[in-house]
Chain A
Amino acid sequence: MVTGTLSVESLLDKMVSELKTLLIHRQIDDPLIIGIRTGGIWIAERLHTALALESPIGMLDISFYRDDFSQIGLHPKVQASQIPCATEGRDIVLVDDVIMSGRTIRAALNELFDYGRPSSVTLVTLLDLQRRELPIQADVYGSTMSLSPNQQVKLSGPDPLELEISQKD
């Protein structure tokens, strides 16, 4: 069974190149990058640097938008979302570290739309764990990975960025 750490540099290179191509194809020249707290922000910062973008990074905390409030209650350490400029009419690149069920992205999209109506949203994730519960797919991803139910993966960072695969308790 796979455990241990994995460097994300090569995955990032692949994502940057694919995202560049996609943005050109979609004729987007000034995207607004928004990362989902916490791991998504680290990835977003790397993409922001690599693409040399002018618009500052936005940070989204989706705690108030989760769909499992009645199951697990309020997350105890909620930080405010920081969206530095108007999202109305902008082309958003939404970034998270891992996509699994798709529920986090569902919550993030709902929150994003409360800030205004973006022109488009492109989804980028580092890993795709391919266990979707909702019809949401990443436009660009670093790698896919299949974990057994008792395994979990966690991104540590921001420097160095490392993926750690471990057994669940």
Chain B
Amino acid sequence: MLEIRNLHATVEGREILKGIDLVVRPGETHAIMGPNGSGKSTLANVIAGREGYEVTEGEILFDGKNLLEMAPEIRACEGLFLAFQYPVEIPGVANLYFLKAAVNAVRKYRGEPPVDAMDFWELVHERMELVKMDESMLKRSVNEGFSGGEKKRNEVFQMAVLQPRFAVMDETDSGLDIDALRVVADGVNALRGPERGFLVITHYQRLLDYIVPDHVHVLFNGRIVRSGGKELALELEEQGYALYNEEPGRARRAAA
């Protein structure tokens, strides 16, 4: 459902992604691991369509459609979701209002009428339980004054309500204690299914104990230098990224 071909991207003229190839099929969960500065978040932002990232070569297809030509909101309406590494605080916009606006934007795009108020309320309540979110958070402004854990839970909550077909989780584990990590992972796992794809971006193997991926890729210096099964994550946990830091050539050979 997501095909990335030879993706090169620059930020402020500096090339960060240097030729990424990645295919995620429906039902699959892929993990992207890598040290700081390897290009993980750039990849997430390019997929979501953030300004300031220039794709200089390659393409991304989403169900065969050219993703890079779509505005960020169109990507979302097509079923793409980015769980932000740093969710933005939006004072003055209530969480529930925001969520309803998002749900209705997607429905409008699909030619559907606005969501029925009762149906929406039921959906929200059901999904709130999933991430153990308190109802008071619905009335508060989007992410304003939320703790790090609350912000990440709010991301998973939004995902659970919007029910995208493909979700990119950008370092959703960073800054979470083990309980919060478990809640977030449970939320993601509950959404996994044969029609849905996930790209889980993380620095640490820890998250992958809870969200067990089908495939693991190591991103280093803008390239995927190694791909494997879930056991690759464990290997990285033991050996760290030192191997790639010191001898990227050898790592690439190992990947080949």
Q: Do A and B bind each other?
A: no
Residues of chain A at the chain B interface (Cβ within 8 Å)? none
Residues of chain B at the chain A interface (Cβ within 8 Å)? none
